[in-house]
Amino acid sequence: MTSKLIAGNWKMNGSLAANAALLQTILSGVRQPACAVAVCVPAPYLAQCQALLSETSVELGAQDVSAHEAGAYTGEVSALMLRDFGVRYAIVGHSERRQYHGETDLVVAEKAQRALATGITPIVCVGETLAQRDAGLTEEVVKRQLAAVIHLNGHCISEIVVAYEPVWAIGTGKTATPEQAQAVHAVLRAQLQAASTQAGRIRILYGGSMNAANAASLLAQPDIDGGLIGGASLKATDFLSIINAAS
């Protein structure tokens, strides 16, 4: 059985001092967890966090990666650059990237491809808006988003991580019930199983406002293999509580 993965997404938060304090507290409490743990930090802090996390059980992650290998793409960060900083995971297709930067399913698939080619595990985000859920389109939307990634990366699809993040539950304080989350995770699991004989290796995380209070009930669901944690990952006590729930 694959251990669960708890990945913190700091989003556009942090400072040199705040990062050091947060990681010091997390590392003092996490020691050798029974689950995998990662923090996905803003690009300017990769070097700092690489140094702070070296020789610890916590892995380093990035919040995005370019779909391009190199070249005239001002402001982009390539997968090879991320590897120079020991990055283990890279979030691709987060709903905020899709919404604010117009990332299409194809672009997300290309970013996943670039990460995989460099030995970085992409955390591929899929999820529906409130309007799409109310229209009964949840399954159609998430399957379409994941299908693009499978189509481009089918030969190594078992190397990805998937994160289901209902857009209506991100940063809103709303959370899918454990039953609602499990239903979508089961759909994604079936889609992955149809695409790969190694689908059992693929973790599917829940990424919609998981916190210290609801983590245990969400993580108890059979197809929820961890969490992509937003706001709670910036509070060491809450993040440690979620790690304990996954362990």
Known binding-site residues for substrate equal 9-11, 171, 209, 230-231
For residue 121, list its beta bridge partners: 89
Under DSSP, is residue 96 helix (H, G, I), strand (E, B) or coil? Answer: helix
Could you say which of 59, 94, 110, 128 is catalytic? 94
CA-to-CA distance for 123 and 65, rounded, in angstroms? 11
94 belongs to the catalytic site: yes
Report the 10 Å Cβ neighbour count for 4.
21
68 belongs to the catalytic site: no
CA-to-CA distance for 110 and 116, rounded, in angstroms? 10
Contact partners, residue 94, CB within 8 Å, separation at least 6: 9, 63, 64, 125, 165
φ, ψ for residue 92 (rounded to 5)? Answer: -130, 140
Helix axes 236-246, 16-30, angle to 10 degrees: 30
Could you say which of 103, 159, 165, 185 is catalytic? 165
Q: Which amino acid, one-letter code, is at 135?
A: A
For the annotated catalytic residues, the residue numbers are 94, 165
